[in-house]
Amino acid sequence: MNDAADKSSSTANIRSSVHSYEELAALHAVARILSQPLELRGQFEQVLQIMSSRLGMQRGMISLLNQDKKEAWLDVAHGVDLTGKDVTYKRGEGITGKVVETGRPMAVADLGQDAHFLDRTGARRDINRSTLAFICVPIIYDNRIVGVLSADKAAANVENLDMELAVLSSLAELTAKTVHIRAIEEENRRLKRIVDSTHTPVINIVGHSQAMQEVFSLVSHVADSNTTVLITGETGTGKELIAKAIHMNSSRRRSQLVQVNCAAIPDNLIESELFGHERGAFTGALYRRRGRFEEAGTGTIFLDEVGELSLTAQAKLLRVLQERQLQPVGSSRVVKVNARIITATNRNLEQDISTERFRTDLYYRLNVFSICLPPLRERGADIISLTDYFIAKYCKEAGKNVKKISPAVIEVFLNHKWPGNVRELENCIERAVLICNGDVIERMHLPPSLQAQEKTHEIRASNKLSIAVEAQEKALIMDALERAGGNQTKTARILGTTKRIIQYKIKKLDIDTKPFRGKT
């Protein structure tokens, strides 16, 4: 794929042409459709219908991009029967594949003369292709190609291919975010089908994204060994679940998994907590106590938040790791350490080493095999899978019948940065299920902080669309004024509207008519 900036600039150049009033009306109609709380596929079908009824496009298609394979698959079509068909285009394959590969629009004046056109749907098999023009543009969101919009039109009705490209490019920009969300939904369904059909999961964690599949691969490699594992990642990413998965997929699964939250143990008790003590070893030691290492036996000990240990506690832990044995406080007996050690932290231990907050020698003892959990914002379609999982979980607990989240909520979730990661998402869904009285979670059921962020985003998006449409209108009227020599009656006639509307638009858009007078 070429540089995203080049793609954006080439598309912007195409859009620089002025749209007609009918084209602006079509863009406005599409914008209204996309603002409605409808299923995404239904929105796309209506968009393609508008392209047909208002713009004369005979057949229209929206293809989604598989980001991993860089392959486009046909998702929604108008005037094309997709029943029983799974139509895909690899990079460089056909006109659609060329657009995916280059990121640049393509227009063909005579479809019968183009060798790249594949007609993979078979919709034009019995049609004289020489009577058709074909336009295909990339759909770009966040500087990435997320889909392709294409259509054909009677060649006799095409006066200017550049203008046709400009219209389709504007439509592609309007639909970009919706296509992005739809692509994530479909990719999630595809990955789930692939994962479910290829193997039986041995890890009870929701995650079909490429990032999580890599984590699962690491777990499968290290699980059935004695290697010490360090799990890193932001708070709320599920580090404890990965530790449990390693234990349950190892030969130690019949023994205990002992979990220790290092951040919750006072420094003066850490030695007693981890290694145990004898009766009378210190004030308050009224009985003998086994430490957590001894409790783990031949199982696994999981030291969560290990980065919170003090330097004194780190020195004591290092000694146990080096010697693989310990002495309980106040005892002369030696206890061999047979447990497998897994640790986790949300801190940057390498940075802590540079500030002398964490011991270098302990770090290298713990970091034999590292697994880094990605934050939720980098897991794409997993957000939808996790949402479905938590809805089912809390519906069962609360006796509710919530079935899904609305497309508007999907958009909110995909735009949110999730600083609290999976834990934050779970809390959000638990709250939404409790206050939802229907079967669909809407935006009003989300926490106030998420609703406020989305309102700000909507205002910005609305302003952007309004500015774009006004700029097109202003350019169109100014061009007509120049042709009419500043005469507003002639300007209205050229644009197919009334003088009163033109006067209103001139005032609203703050157009100075003086420079156009006498130019005919």
Would you give per-residue pLDDT tens digits along the chain (520 residues)?
444 444 444 444 444 445 677 778 888 888 888 877 777 888 888 899 888 888 888 888 999 887 666 788 888 888 887 776 778 888 888 888 889 888 899 888 888 777 777 777 777 777 788 888 888 999 998 888 889 999 888 888 888 888 888 888 888 988 888 888 888 877 777 666 655 554 444 567 888 888 888 899 899 889 988 999 999 999 999 999 999 999 999 889 889 999 999 988 887 788 888 888 777 666 666 676 788 898 898 999 999 999 999 898 898 899 889 888 887 877 777 788 889 999 999 999 999 999 999 999 999 999 999 999 999 988 877 888 899 999 999 999 999 999 888 888 887 888 888 999 999 999 999 999 999 998 999 988 998 878 666 555 554 444 555 565 666 677 778 878 888 888 888 888 787 777 777 887 787 788 888 777 766 5
Which CATH number does the domain 377-446 belong to among 3.20.20.140, 1.10.8.60, 1.10.3720.10, 1.10.10.10?
Answer: 1.10.8.60
| Lookup: tokens for 317 | 């832990």
Domain ranges of the chain: 4-177, 210-373, 377-446, 451-516
Question: Residue 115 class from Cβ within 10 Å (0-12 exposed, 13-18 middle, 19+ buried)?
Answer: exposed
Compute the distance between CA of residue 433 and CA of residue 445 in angstroms, rounded to an integer.
Answer: 8
- Compute φ and ψ for 17, nearest 5 degrees: -65, 150
Q: E strand or H helix at 61, and its extent?
A: strand 57-66
Cite the DSSP H helix spans in 16-120. Answer: 21-34, 40-55, 94-102
C-beta of residue 245 within 8 angstroms of C-beta of residue 205 = yes
The reported pLDDT for the residue numbered 116 is 74
The CATH H-level (homologous superfamily) assignment of domain 4-177 is: GAF domain (3.30.450.40)
Compute the distance between CA of residue 295 and CA of residue 257 in angstroms, rounded to an integer.
Answer: 9
Residue owning tokens 């698959």: 73
DSSP state of 514: G
Compute the distance between CA of residue 167 and CA of residue 164 in angstroms, rounded to an integer.
Answer: 5
Tell whether the torsion through CA atoms of 89, 90, 91 and 92 is positive or negative: negative
- Read off the amino acid at residue 390: F
Compute the distance between CA of residue 431 and CA of residue 445 in angstroms, rounded to an integer.
Answer: 8
- Compute φ and ψ for 344, nearest 5 degrees: -145, 150
Compute the distance between CA of residue 479 and CA of residue 468 in angstroms, rounded to an integer.
Answer: 17
| Lookup: tokens for 371 | 């697994």
Tell whether the torsion through CA atoms of 479, 482, 484 and 486 is positive or negative: positive
Compute the distance between CA of residue 446 and CA of residue 452 in angstroms, rounded to an integer.
Answer: 10
Tell whether the torsion through CA atoms of 174, 178, 183 and 186 is positive or negative: negative
Bridge partners for 89 per DSSP? 72
Compute the distance between CA of residue 488 and CA of residue 482 in angstroms, rounded to an integer.
Answer: 10
| Lookup: tokens for 269 | 């008790």
Bridge partners for 417 per DSSP? none
DSSP state of 329: B
| Lookup: tokens for 180 | 């992005």
The reported pLDDT for the residue numbered 66 is 78
Look up the pTM and report it.
0.59
Q: What is the DSSP string of 98-160?
A: HHHHH---EEES-GGG-TT---TT-TTTTS-GGGEEEEEEEEEETTEEEEEEEEEEEGGG-S-
Please give the CATH architecture assigned to the domain spanning 210-373.
Answer: 3-Layer(aba) Sandwich (3.40)
The CATH H-level (homologous superfamily) assignment of domain 451-516 is: Homeodomain-like (1.10.10.60)
Axis-axis angle for helices 4-15, 161-198 (nearest 10): 140
Residue owning tokens 């005037």: 79
The reported pLDDT for the residue numbered 201 is 41
| Lookup: tokens for 68 | 């991993």
The reported pLDDT for the residue numbered 463 is 52
Residue owning tokens 């202003």: 474
Axis-axis angle for helices 448-483, 488-495 (nearest 10): 110
The reported pLDDT for the residue numbered 517 is 75
> CB atoms < 10 A from the CB of 87, how many?
18
- Compute φ and ψ for 232, nearest 5 degrees: -120, 160
The reported pLDDT for the residue numbered 53 is 86
Helix, strand, coil share (%) of the chain residues, nearest 5 = 50, 15, 30
Residue 276, by phi and psi: left (phi above 0), alpha (psi -120 to 50) or beta? Answer: left
Question: How many CA atoms lie less than 13 Å away from 480 in the CB half-sphere?
Answer: 26
> CB atoms < 10 A from the CB of 349, how many?
22
Question: How many CA atoms lie less than 13 Å away from 168 in the CB half-sphere?
Answer: 30
The reported pLDDT for the residue numbered 195 is 56
